[in-house]
Amino acid sequence: MSKIVFIGGGNMASCLIGGMLANGFSSQDITVSEPNDDSRQRMKSTHGVLTTADNLAAVSQADIVVLAVKPQIMAAVASPLEAKLKHKPIIVSIAAGIPVGALQSWLGQDLKIVRAMPNTPAMVQSGATGLFANQSLDGGQQAMIENIFSAVGYACWVGQESDIDAVTAVSGSGPAYFFLVYEAMLKVAQELGLEKQTASQLTLHTALGAARLALASESTPNELREQVTSPGGTTQAAIESFQAQDLEGIFRTAMTSALERAKEMSDDFAG
């Protein structure tokens, strides 16, 4: 079995490891390298994985190294690892906005590097992750990386690195778009007379049900919408109001802003 080493034992590492253990990975194949004693202890007691404070020793034994530290400290954490990567483990970075080129400049040019963009619903095994590899992985390597991220939800590969910026604008930031809609529907539902708890549960179960129905169905979003929209009825009144205010245009502007910001952040790291 491949040895997987996490550099950084924070929230995202913990959530990935929890999913991996629930999906057949062995705790003895996973090592977390993390300077903070409390975080190491938490990793050991929660997940039973191996822990260390020695990043260099950890990566020298790894088949896969998952870089799970904050983007702003990635250069300082990654640069010293280069000397211990001669056996060429696959590098997986989950750090937002750090391009492959920057990782290569810190870690070595000829490594297989995967950029992963997970999102926060990974915490409840309902994440969505986009993956990009700078070199082709063999079937076993590709499956192993997919297994790590599909343990916490849906995972898919994208064809070029710039697609990761689009993934960031869609699913990386996307949970917040739905939370914004949740917030708005919750407020208005209360103004319409519902108790907060009732409004919240009805809104969230509607979101969950709509997503499940769409996932289970072959229909287009437009067809699904038409199934709930009888002519002259309540849904039509609401939809016409959204469309009169150009809901699609609002999303286009917002998601394009997220994409542009993701590009700017990558450009900062590319120097």
Of 19 and 118, the one with the shorter C-beta distance to ligand NAP is 118
59 closest CA partner among 39, 40, 31 = 31
Query: Does residue 207 touch ligand NAP according to CB under 6 A?
Result: no
Q: 179: which 2 tokens? A: 């939370």
Q: Identify the residue among 4, 8, 89, 167 touching ligand NAP (CB under 6 A).
A: 8
Query: Does residue 175 touch ligand NAP according to CB under 6 A?
Result: no
Q: Identify the residue among 22, 57, 73, 270 touching ligand NAP (CB under 6 A).
A: 73
Choose one: 28-36, 159-167, 197-205, 255-263; the region binding ligand NAP (CB under 6 A): 28-36
Give me the 75-94 binding string for ligand NAP, x by CB under 6 A, dash otherwise. Answer: --x----------------x
Choose one: 56-64, 111-119, 145-153, 182-190; the region binding ligand NAP (CB under 6 A): 111-119
Phi then psi dihedrals of residue 26, to 5 deg = -95, 140
Task: Give SS3 for 192.
Answer: coil
User: How many other C-beta atoms lie within 10 A of the C-beta of residue 31?
Assistant: 24
- As beta bridge partners, residue 162 has none
Query: Does residue 266 touch ligand NAP according to CB under 6 A?
Result: no
Query: Does residue 55 touch ligand NAP according to CB under 6 A?
Result: yes
Pairing of strands 50-52, 4-7: unpaired
Asked if 156 and 130 touch (Cβ cutoff 8 Å), the reply is yes
Query: Does residue 36 touch ligand NAP according to CB under 6 A?
Result: yes
Least distance from C-beta 15 to ligand NAP, angstroms?
Answer: 8
Query: Does residue 96 touch ligand NAP according to CB under 6 A?
Result: yes
Least distance from C-beta 205 to ligand NAP, angstroms?
Answer: 24
Pairing of strands 64-67, 4-7: parallel
Query: Does residue 120 touch ligand NAP according to CB under 6 A?
Result: yes
Q: Identify the residue among 71, 75, 101, 157 touching ligand NAP (CB under 6 A).
A: 71
> In the chain, how many H helices and how many E strands?
12, 8
Query: Does residue 19 touch ligand NAP according to CB under 6 A?
Result: no
Of 31 and 55, the one with the shorter C-beta distance to ligand NAP is 55
Which residue's Cβ lies closest to ligand NAP?
10
DSSP code of residue 137: P
4 closest CA partner among 25, 18, 19, 22 = 25
User: What are the residues whose beta carbons fall under 8 Å from the beta carbon of 129, sequence distance 6 or more?
Assistant: 116, 117, 118, 119, 122, 149, 152, 153, 154, 155, 156, 171
Instruction: Give the interface with ligand NAP as residue ranges (CB under 6 A).
Output: 7-13, 33-36, 39, 55, 68-71, 73, 77, 94-96, 117-120
